[in-house]
Amino acid sequence: MFRVYHGLAFVLFSFTPDGGGCKAAEKRLKRPDKSKSSWHTSVVPFLMFRFSVIQKDPNTQARLGSMSTAHGPVQTPAFMPVATQGTVKATTPRELREIGAEIILANAYHLSLRPGAELVEQAGGLHRFMGWDGPILTDSGGYQVFSLKELCQVSEEGVRFCSHLDGSAHCLTPETVVRTQERLGVDIAMVLDECVPGLASYSEAARAGALTTRWAERALVAKTSEDQALFGIVQGGTFPDLREQSARALVSLEFPGYAVGGLSVGEDPRLTHQLAAHTVQGLPETRPRYLMGVGTPEQLVRYVALGFDLFDCVLPTRNARNGTLFTHTGKLNIRRAAYANDPRPIEENCGCYTCRHFSRAYLRHLAVAGEILSAQLNTLHNLYFYQRLMRSMREALATGRFATFAHLFFGLPAVEREEVRVWQI
């Protein structure tokens, strides 16, 4: 079948959850004249989404902002705890609110496979399904395509892949990805993109970047929800000129927000920083900028200084389950025998529930014994640490002292810190 918008016919690909894959129902009937059409704008407006820059730091590119969504406001810069399958591991939605999280990230790819977007829609949408009443951003599945490379096949129409759960055949297209996220009812959706490895060649990165742009055009046309914002994703591998081209093409499509993807996928961390710094210059100041999959506390401070507003990473929750805890003096491995009789909290003056009630000795006991409570208490601390860090940066921006905050942050003694002063703010 096809639909006609503003006199233009566009194909809609059928999606068969039972494994039938992608099928083009009709060929595109007419290539639009871009000078006379609305090809570069979404047919459906983004009525419920707004972003404003409140204050800029005079010494860096950092900025304090505010984002309005259908499920409430988000103060930026912000870190999104990762709820891949509709849950932030070992943490309840109530606890997320208590530690200061305003927005979380889920994954449309995983949720479409299990329990299925239709089931979530019937349950009243992802917010009601998981018991979280704040804003939700969903990743489209592009990174999962990259990570499951041996199970997928990329083409112009989309991505054919085999489920990592049961091996069944499926397909993602720009249209089905938009539809899935609309059925989930999230506040911010991401377009389908192709993420190439850090060592990808120039030609491979160029092909993937151009394909991501064409997919982004189709995603805008497929959008039907006025309550949901759709973000474009900049690709281009490790090549500054390709990232510049990708950013320029996506900005011309007038998305309400932009993500930078395909970084921290195997390239040298110094190169990651250089590419992020180069790419963000091509993104409009009036739109939120989201650096995907980042990162460590040090990285968050550096990338806020570059002008990024949104971040996500599994690091605080994954490390917590492995017994690694974040403090202002570095990482702490709570499993170490040195903490067996330590009566102190993880970190003095930390306001999290874990530090207010439990000693390092008890937390080590839980970790060594393999108790479920270990993952819960460790996760609470790590996520609180991340949210407190973001809150501190926002407060510093509001008072015009972000650069001072950043220098003090990196000037503290480093214990087990992986990236001390690799780049100066």
C-beta of residue 346 within 8 angstroms of C-beta of residue 363: yes
- What distance in Å separates the CA atoms of residue 63 and residue 308, rounded to the nearest whole number? 8
H-only helix segments in 307-371: 315-321, 353-357, 360-369
Is 193 considered catalytic here? Answer: no
Cα–Cα distance measured from residue 255 to residue 270, given in angstroms and rounded to the nearest whole number: 29
* Token reading at 1: 């079948």
Q: Which long-range contacts (CB under 8 A, 24 or more apart) does 97-101 make?
A: 97/134, 98/353, 99/352, 99/380, 99/383, 99/384, 99/387, 100/384, 100/387, 100/388, 100/391, 101/134, 101/383, 101/387
Largest CA distance in the chain: 74
258 Cβ neighbours under 8 A, 6+ residues apart: 231, 232, 233, 234, 247, 250, 251, 283, 284, 287, 288, 289, 290
Q: In whole angstroms, give the CA distance from residue 292 to residue 326.
A: 21
The catalytic position among 139, 187, 193, 309 is: 139
Catalytic site includes residue 133: no
* Residue 234 in tokens: 């900049």
Rg (CA), the chain: 22
Residue 345: asked if its preceding bond is cis (omega within 30°), the reply is no
d(CA 287, CA 334): 41
Edge-first strand listing for the sheet containing 152-154: 152-154, 159-162, 169-172
> Which is nearest to 289 in space by CA: 262, 266, 261, 330?
261
- Nearest residue to 306 via CA among 325, 291, 327, 328: 291
| Active-site residue (options: 57, 187, 309, 312) | 312
Dihedrals φ, ψ of 160, to 5°? -90, 135
- Cβ proximity of 138 and 181 under 8 Å: yes
The residues carrying an active-site annotation are 139, 312
